[in-house]
Amino acid sequence: MTLIEVKDLHKSFGSLEVLRGINCNIDEKEVVVVIGPSGSGKSTFLRCLNLLEVPTRGEVIIDGTSLTDSRTNINAVRQEVGMVFQRFNLFPHKTVLENITLAPIKVRHLPETEAEKLARELLARVGLSDKAGAYPEQLSGGQQQRVAIARALAMRPKIMLFDEPTSALDPEMVGEVLAVMKDLARDGMTMVVVTHEMGFAREVGDRVLFMDEGLILEEGTPAQLFNNCQNPRTRAFLSKIL
């Protein structure tokens, strides 16, 4: 079943055209990895999927709901689409537990005890049960990113978006975050992941999209793309990072 439909998506910032006609369908439980040079529009593409950026033209349909339709309640759609940012963006004035329970309580109207129970389950899942009472600044980057993943999961989203989740991390912490993401993928979460971690793409990616200058230039299974890509631009990019 198709969960995300993107049709002829365009996005401009002023006169700068960042996305120039993206088309792609993403199925339920699919893990799609987006790669491409810096500035090619990967983040912008991802942010159009939960309307952090408003498309200039084209359509994004999430689970049957068109985001670009003015009647759509965008806050309702966002509850179904979790996002993990490069810079974590945890709420510094709240404890780890409060970071995770805030949205379920205020947005989903979950009773506090239930939200807390859920949060503790998720913390166990990302291996941070002992950090519930800590403040974000007391955690390492890898720990903060795992909390950010738990925070997004607490809304029970249907889709998870990851924008270079390990790029801001020290190398020794990349593994712990990727492990959580792999676990999530195995569990059947629909994921769109912008990353330079090719090992991750190979291992859990169902499909890899190569973006350049606002377009998807090539796509395929990780094996197809990494071992036998057709486009010279893809080859040039891969030769630089592999």
Partner 1 sequence: MGLVIQSLPYLLLGAVQTLKITLVAVSLGCILGLVAGMGRLSRRRLTSFLATCYVDFFRGTPLLVQIFIVYYGFPQLLDEGQKFLMASLGMPQLLQTTHIPVFVAATLATSLNSGAYVAEIFRAGIQSIERGQVEAARSLGMTEGQTMRYIVLPQAFKRVIPPLGNEFIAMLKDTSLLSVIGYVELTRQGQLISGATFKPLQIYFGVALIYLIMTFTISRLVDYLERRLKTGDLDRS
Ligand X SMILES: Nc1ncnc2c1ncn2[C@@H]1O[C@H](COP(=O)(O)OP(=O)(O)O)[C@@H](O)[C@H]1O
Residue 41 in contact with ligand X, rule: CB under 6 A: yes
Contact status: 22 vs partner 1 (CB under 8 A) = no
Query: What minimum distance in Å lies between the beta carbon of 46 and partner 1?
Result: 11
- Establish if 40 lies at the interface with ligand X (CB under 6 A): yes
Interacting residue with partner 1 among 29, 57, 66, 135 (CB under 8 A): 135
**CA distances to 8, 12, 13, 44 from 16, in Å:** 17, 5, 5, 12
Site string for Mg ion, 41-60 (x = CB under 5 A): --x-----------------
Q: Is 53 helix (H, G, I), strand (E, B) or coil?
A: coil
Query: What are the start-end ranges of the H helices in the chain?
Result: 42-48, 74-78, 96-106, 112-125, 141-153, 171-186, 198-204, 222-227, 232-241
> Does 50 help bind ligand X (rule: CB under 6 A)?
no
Q: How far from chain centre, in Å, is Cα 83?
A: 5
Return the residue of 76, 124, 223, 236 that touches partner 1, per CB under 8 A.
76
Choice from 92, 113, 171, 172 touching partner 1 (CB under 8 A): 92
Q: Is 195 in the site for Mg ion (CB under 5 A)?
A: no
For residue 108, the SS3 value is coil
* Partner in contact with 181, chosen from ligand X, Mg ion, partner 1, none, beta carbon below 5 to 8 Å by kind: none
d(CA 208, CA 225): 7
